[in-house]
């Protein structure tokens, strides 16, 4: 699939999630819904319930970590959340930056932006805003943000070089990012890599971990730190839809793996 076709898949899938209230309590983007086609399993998901600022209505269970836990956000910071969805991580960041800070959420899907704005109206925050836009071409000014966070979104961006270049552009000098994302170790089997449903389900858009970290370095970020990584286990009956028995054995023996990671880096 071409980049624009992949973006269309993501827009359609996440638009459907935003418009289906029954997904509000699902544990992942695959959950028990059909948003990921045949891939109906709980993929990742960290627990937000005890995190300050967590708003249940804004938590669609689409994350693969809690990047705000490692983002070193301070009171008064201006924070950008990439792929902000219904606003979950924005509201967590708002609890940290307080009245003197500001939080901006950027999302590719109109329906998600509308859902986030609706949630924010209920909360009455005047220093939280949501913007529709493409992470590869952010409609945001240079040198604006102290911290960028993102949760299980950048892997869905076709051109990660553009994404990290844009992050570098909009960060203030001395600013930093902290993102949770999905990466792979080894070569993901081609059948998984090409499947559009798997792509929108947060897996096949992922790239190899070393390549991911190299892109960050190539874009000029310093002091890159991987704070956390966790293997994502895919059940054998799901793998059987895509792989031969021999390929499943290789996959489950750890020769190839899918991981959620939380990583940060700084702009000079």
Confidence of residue 237 (pLDDT cuts 50, 70, 90): confident
The residue-averaged pLDDT of 46-53 equals 83
What DSSP state is assigned to residue 70? T
d(CA 260, CA 246): 25
Q: What is the mean pLDDT of residues 207-228?
A: 96
CATH assignment of the domain containing 149: 3.40.50.150
Continuous H helices in the chain: 3-18, 88-97, 110-123, 160-170, 190-194, 196-200, 209-218, 236-239, 245-252
Which structural domain, as residue segments, surrounds residue 186?
Answer: 3-266
Q: In total, how many domains does the chain have?
A: 1
State residue 64's pLDDT score. Answer: 87
Determine whether 169 is exposed, middle or buried from the number of CB atoms within 10 Å of its CB (0-12, 13-18, 19+). Answer: middle
Instruction: Look at residue 41 and tell me whether its pLDDT is greater than 50.
Output: no
pLDDT interval class at 236 (50, 70, 90)? confident
d(CA 155, CA 151) in angstroms, rounded, equals: 10
**What pLDDT, on the 0 to 100 scale, is given for residue 196?**
53
Q: Is there a contact between 201 and 26 (Cβ–Cβ < 8 Å)? A: no
User: What's the mean pLDDT in 180-192?
Assistant: 82
Q: Which residue has the higher pLDDT, 196 or 175?
A: 175
Mean of the pLDDT values across residues 134-148? Answer: 98
How confident is the model at residue 34, as a pLDDT?
35
* pTM for the predicted model, two decimal places: 0.85
- Residue position matching structure tokens 């949630």: 119
Most confident of the following: 2-16, 34-48, 101-115: 101-115
Average pLDDT over residues 174-179: 98
The larger pLDDT score, comparing residue 39 to residue 86, is at: 86
């Amino acid at each position: 699939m071409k980049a624009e076709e992949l973006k269309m898949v993501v827009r359609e899938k996440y638009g459907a999630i935003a418009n289906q209230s029954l997904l509000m309590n699902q544990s992942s983007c695959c959950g028990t819904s059909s948003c990921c086609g045949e891939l109906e399993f709980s993929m990742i998901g960290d627990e937000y319930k005890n995190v300050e600022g967590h708003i249940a209505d804004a938590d669609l269970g689409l994350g693969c970590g809690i990047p705000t836990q490692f983002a070193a956000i301070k009171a008064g910071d201006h924070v950008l959340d990439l792929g902000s969805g219904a606003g979950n991580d924005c509201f967590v960041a708002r609890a940290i930056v307080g009245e003197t800070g500001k939080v901006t959420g950027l999302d590719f899907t109109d329906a998600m932006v509308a859902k986030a704005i609706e949630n924010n109206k209920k909360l009455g925050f005047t220093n939280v805003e949501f913007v529709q836009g493409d992470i590869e071409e952010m409609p945001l000014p240079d040198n604006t943000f102290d911290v960028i966070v993102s949760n299980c979104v950048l892997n869905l961006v076709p051109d990660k070089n553009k994404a990290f270049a844009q992050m570098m552009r909009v960060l203030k000098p001395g600013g930093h990012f902290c993102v949770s994302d999905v990466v792979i170790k080894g070569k993901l089997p081609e059948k998984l890599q090409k499947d559009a449903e798997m792509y929108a389900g947060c897996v096949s858009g992922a790239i190899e971990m070393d390549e991911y970290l190299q892109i960050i370095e190539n874009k000029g970020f310093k002091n890159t730190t991987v704070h956390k990584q966790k293997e994502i286990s895919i059940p054998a009956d799901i793998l059987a839809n895509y792989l031969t028995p021999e390929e499943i054995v290789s996959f489950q023996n750890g020769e190839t793996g899918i991981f959620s990671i939380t990583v940060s880096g700084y702009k000079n």
